[in-house]
Structure 1
Amino acid sequence: MQNNLNIITRKAERKHCRIFGKVRYLTKEVDVRILDMSVTGMAVEIRAPIHAASGSRVQILADDLGTLHGIIRWTHNGRLGIQFDPNSNARAQVSSYFRFFHKEVKPVLTR
């Protein structure tokens, strides 16, 4: 799916969630809140600058999900879009989370 700005967006269904964890880039770890997630990626809100460019490989560490590997696809206003590494078992871990642990969360504030 493409919009007018020629930005490629996620095709998989997104589900809102509130999971806290960390994003690790090289030797730096930053606290994050996972805003929404699909089986192909996630959007996270970062608590401090991470200085990673699009295309950088990162690890996502969360108690509910375990360790996931991904690639930063976009950054904007303290948020990151992360696509899961297709060579990892991220799809299975996220599917398992949705099957056993996920409770639907409605956004508190709207934009």
Structure 2
Amino acid sequence: MPYQQVIERKPARTTTKFTGEVTCKGGMSRGIVKDLSSAGICFQLNFDINAKTGEEVSIQSTEFGHLTGVVKWYRGDRIGIRLDPSSKTAAQISSYYKYFR
């Protein structure tokens, strides 16, 4: 049996289910934030916005406000977004956990 490398994620993810809006050069779509960590978001789109890996996006939600990031991956109607590593982003995510979890 071949050796399989296990990739371990550093930040813990939390399963979520709240709505938001993603905007990029390809367009804008509402959708659902499926999971959230201090480093990223898995977002399920209502409409395809032709988001490409490496493209900058902005995310808007009542729960955490306005965040920016980069598309890390896309599979079907879901995209993975790596959030900008800033103290403002960390504070917004921390606020979500404090008030909405």
Q: Which band: TM-score by shorter chain?
A: 0.7 to 0.9
2:56 corresponds to: 57
Contact preservation (8 Å) 2:60, 2:67: yes
Percent identity over the alignment?
A: 31
Return the structure number with greater strand share.
Answer: 2
Structure 2, unaligned runs of 5 or more: none
Distance 1:63 1:39 in 2: 17
2:31 corresponds to: 32
Counterpart residue identity of residue 15, structure 2: H
Distance 1:59 1:9 in 2: 26
1:95 corresponds to: 94
Q: Does residue 1:45 correspond to 2:44, yes or no?
A: yes
Aligned Cα root-mean-square deviation (Å): 1.9
Counterpart residue identity of residue 32, structure 2: R
Deviation readout 1:38-85 (Å, 9 max, x if unpaired) = 111110101111112101000000011100001100000210000101
Aligned length: 98
Name segments (4+ residues, structure 1) moved above 3 Å. Answer: none
Contact preservation (8 Å) 2:21, 2:29: yes
Contact preservation (8 Å) 1:10, 1:40: no
